[in-house]
Amino acid sequence: MLTFEYIDDDASLTKLVAQYRQSQLLVLDTEFVRTRTYYARLGLIQAYDGKTLALIDPVAVSNLAEFWQLLTVPEITTVLHSCSEDLEVFARNGNCQPFKLFDSQIAASLCGFGHGLGYGKLVEQTLDIVLDKGESRTDWMKRPLSEAQLNYAANDVYYLYNLYPQLIEKLEEQDRLAWVFEEGERMTKDRLTPPNLDQAYLKVKNAFQLSPKQLAFLKVLAKWRLQKALSRDLAVGFVVKDHALIGLAKKQPKSNNELFNMTELTEQEKRIHGKDILALLKTADLDNPPKAIDVIALKTGYKSSFKAIKNCLVAIAENKQVSIELLGSKRHIHEYLQWLWDGKVTATPLLLTGWRKGLVETSLNELKLSNI
């Protein structure tokens, strides 16, 4: 049974933060609930500096501002495991990102433990301890939290603090510690930038199927949907589904009868949003429609070029003992190919930046790719 402090008032938090400010290392985790909401609902924050393990109740504490400020202290390394969703929580609730971020999942990958390793597996491999994950699907907004829930939450930072030195040792042996912090900088970049409403249509599934004129309709619909989602804190799919937006952009109903005859929309969507949708469709800028979406996978020579790059990266990954998923994923290869097709005038692709560049640039430059 781990010993921890349960922080549920402002005075206790102030005292805790003062202690943590003296630390160079702060291990964090968050527990949250996300079902129908756009933003995750923060239920618990776990923190450990090697001296005090604290479970901070964000439902009870009225102001967490001083805690969030800890993440921005240059002298403090923030340690998290598989932190993408935690970073969303920090951005939403604290309007901040860790200044110096160490993601133990990425570190484990670079150490050779395997890509995408879960926290429990990493603890088992490094500390030979099997954790009980029985509370992983718990409701973290419900109060009071049970003893089992609190102990489960405490485990998530206690053992991470204890395995951290092993990861550091292995990374330093391979001269890869800087790579982890570089990945941390990349992951936190632009997290505080609000969603681009005018670009929301690009995230609608199958938008590439539409003509420029149809995209003009989709653009106003997707912008409206995202505004609704943000204002109501509702997942976009619970406003109107993607396939319904595509159907509206294709059919462009001009009357209630035309809209209510559409099978792509649910009866509830028609009833709640029908009037707004008809009005929105009239605002589409057909004189200045978006460009057709360029689908890289449909380009001539894509398959052979992708395969050549993938084979090249796999060989490098095996030689350097780096997981191929981390070195060059499908998305990274797409980005690189798009950059080539664009004449190398757009933003430098990830494969040619930072630690990846040193590993792959020469080999990629030697490839003879078709139709590029």
- d(CA 238, CA 246) in angstroms, rounded, equals 16
Of the residues 57, 103, 135, 156, which is catalytic? 156
Q: Which domains does the chain have, with CATH numbers?
A: 5-188 (3.30.420.10), 197-281 (1.10.150.80), 296-365 (1.10.150.80)
pLDDT score, position 106: 98
pLDDT score, position 107: 98
Of the residues 49, 86, 135, 183, which is catalytic? 86
Of the residues 20, 29, 48, 158, which is catalytic? 29
Per-position b or e across 250-279, b if 16+ CB within 10 A of its CB: ebbbeeeeebeebebbeeebbeebbeebbe
- 156 catalytic per annotation: yes
Contact 32, 86 (CB under 8 A): no
pLDDT score, position 166: 97
Tell me the average pLDDT of the chain: 95
Kindly tell me the sign of the dihedral angle through the C-alpha atoms of 222, 227, 230, 231. negative
Please check the confidence at residue 232 and state whether its pLDDT lies above 90: yes
Q: What is the pLDDT of residues 123-139, one digit of tens each?
A: 999 999 999 876 667 89
Q: Which residue has the tokens 């057909």?
A: 286
Hey, what amino acid is at 106?
I
- 152 catalytic per annotation: yes
Of the residues 152, 158, 159, 302, which is catalytic? 152
Q: What is the pLDDT of residues 62-86, one digit of tens each?
A: 999 999 999 999 999 999 999 999 9
pLDDT score, position 136: 66
